[in-house]
Chain A
Amino acid sequence: KAGVTQTPRYLIKTRGQQVTLSCSPISGHRSVSWYQQTPGQGLQFLFEYFSETQRNKGNFPGRFSGRQFSNSRSEMNVSTLELGDSALYLCASSLVGDTAREQFFGPGTRLTVL
Protein backbone atom coordinates (compact mmCIF):
# COMPACT_ATOMS: atom_id res chain seq x y z
CA LYS A 1 0.00 0.00 0.00
CA ALA A 2 1.42 3.38 -1.01
CA GLY A 3 2.22 5.80 1.79
CA VAL A 4 1.26 9.42 2.22
CA THR A 5 2.61 11.59 -0.56
CA GLN A 6 3.19 15.31 -0.53
CA THR A 7 4.01 17.66 -3.35
CA PRO A 8 6.11 19.56 -3.92
CA ARG A 9 8.94 18.40 -1.68
CA TYR A 10 10.75 21.72 -1.75
CA LEU A 11 9.51 25.22 -2.42
CA ILE A 12 11.12 28.64 -2.38
CA LYS A 13 8.91 31.71 -2.29
CA THR A 14 9.30 35.38 -1.47
CA ARG A 15 7.47 37.40 1.12
CA GLY A 16 3.96 38.37 0.13
CA GLN A 17 3.45 35.48 -2.24
CA GLN A 18 1.05 32.63 -1.65
CA VAL A 19 1.64 28.90 -1.80
CA THR A 20 -0.43 25.74 -2.14
CA LEU A 21 0.75 22.40 -0.83
CA SER A 22 -0.80 19.07 -1.71
CA CYS A 23 -1.23 15.84 0.24
CA SER A 24 -2.52 12.44 -0.89
CA PRO A 25 -3.38 10.18 2.04
CA ILE A 26 -3.05 6.44 2.23
CA SER A 27 -5.82 4.75 0.29
CA GLY A 28 -8.84 4.31 2.55
CA HIS A 29 -7.79 6.98 5.03
CA ARG A 30 -10.35 9.74 5.23
CA SER A 31 -8.75 11.94 7.87
CA VAL A 32 -5.93 14.28 6.94
CA SER A 33 -4.07 16.53 9.37
CA TRP A 34 -1.51 19.23 8.67
CA TYR A 35 1.39 20.25 10.88
CA GLN A 36 4.07 22.90 10.77
CA GLN A 37 7.48 21.88 12.05
CA THR A 38 10.23 24.35 12.88
CA PRO A 39 13.47 23.81 14.85
CA GLY A 40 12.78 23.92 18.56
CA GLN A 41 9.00 24.12 18.14
CA GLY A 42 8.15 20.54 17.47
CA LEU A 43 5.05 19.85 15.43
CA GLN A 44 2.40 22.53 15.58
CA PHE A 45 -1.08 21.39 14.60
CA LEU A 46 -2.63 23.41 11.78
CA PHE A 47 -5.92 21.70 10.98
CA GLU A 48 -7.62 18.39 10.37
CA TYR A 49 -10.05 17.44 7.64
CA PHE A 50 -12.44 14.56 7.48
CA SER A 51 -14.90 13.92 4.66
CA GLU A 52 -14.22 17.33 3.14
CA THR A 53 -14.97 19.12 6.43
CA GLN A 54 -12.53 20.86 8.72
CA ARG A 55 -13.18 19.40 12.14
CA ASN A 56 -10.23 20.75 14.12
CA LYS A 57 -8.13 23.87 13.81
CA GLY A 58 -4.93 24.91 15.54
CA ASN A 59 -3.86 28.36 16.63
CA PHE A 60 -2.66 29.81 13.34
CA PRO A 61 -3.70 33.03 11.59
CA GLY A 62 -6.31 33.05 8.88
CA ARG A 63 -3.57 33.21 6.22
CA PHE A 64 -3.38 29.45 6.66
CA SER A 65 -6.26 27.58 5.11
CA GLY A 66 -6.98 24.18 3.73
CA ARG A 67 -9.49 21.99 2.07
CA GLN A 68 -10.16 18.36 1.35
CA PHE A 69 -11.57 16.83 -1.79
CA SER A 70 -14.01 13.97 -2.23
CA ASN A 71 -11.11 11.56 -2.88
CA SER A 72 -9.62 12.58 0.52
CA ARG A 73 -6.71 14.43 -1.05
CA SER A 74 -6.03 17.66 0.77
CA GLU A 75 -4.44 20.99 0.04
CA MET A 76 -3.26 23.72 2.32
CA ASN A 77 -2.75 27.31 1.29
CA VAL A 78 -0.69 30.03 2.88
CA SER A 79 -1.31 33.55 1.65
CA THR A 80 0.81 36.66 2.09
CA LEU A 81 3.85 34.66 3.08
CA GLU A 82 6.08 35.87 5.89
CA LEU A 83 9.67 34.93 6.68
CA GLY A 84 8.45 33.08 9.76
CA ASP A 85 6.43 30.72 7.59
CA SER A 86 9.62 28.97 6.54
CA ALA A 87 9.17 25.46 7.87
CA LEU A 88 8.60 21.83 7.08
CA TYR A 89 4.90 21.23 6.47
CA LEU A 90 3.81 17.72 7.25
CA CYS A 91 0.64 15.98 6.30
CA ALA A 92 -0.63 12.93 8.16
CA SER A 93 -3.48 10.58 7.42
CA SER A 94 -5.35 8.16 9.62
CA LEU A 95 -8.25 5.77 9.59
CA VAL A 96 -11.70 6.86 10.57
CA GLY A 97 -12.03 7.19 14.31
CA ASP A 98 -8.34 6.65 14.89
CA THR A 99 -7.03 10.11 14.12
CA ALA A 100 -5.11 10.72 17.28
CA ARG A 101 -3.96 7.20 18.03
CA GLU A 102 -1.75 6.50 15.02
CA GLN A 103 -1.06 8.86 12.20
CA PHE A 104 0.93 8.14 9.06
CA PHE A 105 3.07 11.04 7.98
CA GLY A 106 4.19 12.07 4.55
CA PRO A 107 7.76 13.21 3.81
CA GLY A 108 6.78 16.86 4.10
CA THR A 109 7.17 19.98 2.00
CA ARG A 110 10.12 22.16 2.90
CA LEU A 111 9.03 25.78 2.40
CA THR A 112 11.60 28.54 2.36
CA VAL A 113 10.41 32.14 2.33
CA LEU A 114 12.96 34.73 1.24
Chain B
Amino acid sequence: GQSLEQPSEVTAVEGAIVQINCTYQTSGFYGLSWYQQHDGGAPTFLSYNALDGLEETGRFSSFLSRSDSYGYLLLQELQMKDSASYFCAVRVSGGYQKVTFGTGTKLQVIP
Protein backbone atom coordinates (compact mmCIF):
# COMPACT_ATOMS: atom_id res chain seq x y z
CA GLY B 1 0.00 0.00 0.00
CA GLN B 2 0.86 3.65 0.03
CA SER B 3 1.42 5.97 2.96
CA LEU B 4 2.16 9.68 3.18
CA GLU B 5 3.22 11.77 6.14
CA GLN B 6 2.68 15.49 6.57
CA PRO B 7 2.77 17.69 9.67
CA SER B 8 -0.74 18.17 11.00
CA GLU B 9 -0.41 21.88 11.72
CA VAL B 10 1.91 24.74 10.85
CA THR B 11 1.74 28.35 11.95
CA ALA B 12 3.56 31.17 10.14
CA VAL B 13 3.60 34.95 10.10
CA GLU B 14 2.14 37.04 7.30
CA GLY B 15 4.81 37.97 4.77
CA ALA B 16 7.08 35.10 5.79
CA ILE B 17 7.99 31.86 4.01
CA VAL B 18 6.71 28.45 5.08
CA GLN B 19 7.62 24.95 3.95
CA ILE B 20 5.23 22.00 4.24
CA ASN B 21 6.91 18.63 3.97
CA CYS B 22 5.57 15.36 2.65
CA THR B 23 7.28 11.99 2.86
CA TYR B 24 5.84 8.97 1.15
CA GLN B 25 6.19 5.23 0.96
CA THR B 26 4.83 3.71 -2.18
CA SER B 27 5.59 1.47 -5.07
CA GLY B 28 5.28 2.44 -8.69
CA PHE B 29 5.63 6.15 -7.92
CA TYR B 30 4.74 8.47 -10.76
CA GLY B 31 4.46 11.92 -9.21
CA LEU B 32 3.47 14.14 -6.33
CA SER B 33 0.64 16.68 -6.38
CA TRP B 34 -0.35 19.42 -3.96
CA TYR B 35 -3.84 20.68 -3.23
CA GLN B 36 -5.18 23.55 -1.17
CA GLN B 37 -8.48 23.40 0.68
CA HIS B 38 -10.07 26.26 2.56
CA ASP B 39 -12.52 25.47 5.34
CA GLY B 40 -15.84 24.57 3.79
CA GLY B 41 -14.39 24.58 0.30
CA ALA B 42 -13.27 22.07 -2.28
CA PRO B 43 -9.64 21.08 -2.79
CA THR B 44 -7.96 22.99 -5.59
CA PHE B 45 -4.88 21.88 -7.50
CA LEU B 46 -1.64 23.77 -6.83
CA SER B 47 1.23 21.88 -8.44
CA TYR B 48 2.60 18.59 -9.67
CA ASN B 49 6.13 17.13 -9.69
CA ALA B 50 7.09 14.05 -11.64
CA LEU B 51 10.82 14.71 -11.79
CA ASP B 52 13.33 15.76 -9.17
CA GLY B 53 13.66 19.47 -8.65
CA LEU B 54 11.71 22.61 -8.05
CA GLU B 55 8.54 23.75 -9.83
CA GLU B 56 7.56 27.36 -9.35
CA THR B 57 4.12 28.86 -9.80
CA GLY B 58 3.94 32.41 -8.54
CA ARG B 59 4.29 32.52 -4.78
CA PHE B 60 4.07 28.73 -4.55
CA SER B 61 6.87 26.30 -5.33
CA SER B 62 6.99 22.53 -5.02
CA PHE B 63 10.02 20.30 -4.73
CA LEU B 64 10.53 16.59 -5.23
CA SER B 65 13.35 14.20 -4.43
CA ARG B 66 12.47 10.75 -5.73
CA SER B 67 15.55 9.15 -4.15
CA ASP B 68 14.50 10.43 -0.72
CA SER B 69 10.76 9.82 -1.26
CA TYR B 70 10.25 13.37 -0.14
CA GLY B 71 8.68 16.55 -1.35
CA TYR B 72 7.68 19.92 -0.04
CA LEU B 73 5.47 22.85 -0.81
CA LEU B 74 6.98 26.28 -0.32
CA LEU B 75 4.75 29.30 0.15
CA GLN B 76 6.38 32.71 -0.06
CA GLU B 77 5.14 36.15 0.92
CA LEU B 78 2.44 34.57 3.01
CA GLN B 79 -0.97 36.20 2.98
CA MET B 80 -3.85 35.73 5.39
CA LYS B 81 -5.83 34.06 2.61
CA ASP B 82 -3.22 31.29 2.51
CA SER B 83 -4.65 29.96 5.76
CA ALA B 84 -6.00 26.61 4.62
CA SER B 85 -5.26 22.90 4.62
CA TYR B 86 -2.66 21.60 2.20
CA PHE B 87 -2.62 18.03 0.96
CA CYS B 88 0.06 16.13 -0.85
CA ALA B 89 -1.02 13.28 -3.08
CA VAL B 90 1.01 10.59 -4.76
CA ARG B 91 0.28 9.21 -8.16
CA VAL B 92 1.14 5.52 -8.47
CA SER B 93 0.98 2.87 -11.13
CA GLY B 94 -0.92 -0.39 -10.98
CA GLY B 95 -2.86 -0.97 -14.10
CA TYR B 96 -4.32 2.47 -14.12
CA GLN B 97 -3.26 5.66 -12.45
CA LYS B 98 -4.17 5.81 -8.78
CA VAL B 99 -4.01 8.62 -6.27
CA THR B 100 -3.47 8.55 -2.51
CA PHE B 101 -3.81 11.70 -0.43
CA GLY B 102 -2.02 12.60 2.77
CA THR B 103 -4.02 13.63 5.84
CA GLY B 104 -3.27 17.29 5.24
CA THR B 105 -1.44 20.14 6.93
CA LYS B 106 -3.47 22.95 8.42
CA LEU B 107 -1.63 26.21 7.86
CA GLN B 108 -2.50 29.17 10.03
CA VAL B 109 -1.13 32.54 8.94
CA ILE B 110 -1.00 35.08 11.74
CA PRO B 111 -0.52 38.88 11.49
A residues whose Cβ falls under 8 Å from a Cβ of B = 4, 33, 35, 40-45, 48, 50, 55-56, 90, 92, 99-108
Contacts and interface: CB of A to CB of B under 8 A. Distances in A.
Given A43-B43, A90-B42, A107-B41, A102 B48 contact: yes
Given A90-B42, A99-B97, A42 B102 contact: yes
A102 B45 contact: yes
A92 B31 CA distance: 18
A25 to B, nearest CB: 13
B107 to A, nearest CB: 15
Nearest to A41: B103
A42 B104 contact: yes
26 contacts: A4-B42, A40-B103, A41-B103, A42-B101, A42-B102, A43-B89, A43-B101, A45-B101, A48-B98, A55-B95, A56-B95, A56-B96, A56-B98, A90-B43, A92-B43, A99-B97, A100-B30, A100-B91, A100-B97, A100-B98, A101-B33, A101-B91, A104-B45, A105-B42, A106-B42, A108-B42
Interface SS of A by simple majority: strand
**Chain B interface mostly helix, strand, loop or mixed?**
strand
B99 A33 contact: yes
A43 to B, nearest CB: 4
Interface in B34-49: 41-45, 48
Instruction: Give the residue among A35, A55, A103, A107 with the most B Cβ atoms within 10 A.
Output: A103
Given A43-B101, A100-B98, 13 more contacts: A35-B101, A41-B103, A43-B43, A45-B99, A45-B100, A48-B96, A50-B96, A56-B97, A56-B98, A100-B33, A101-B91, A102-B45, A105-B44
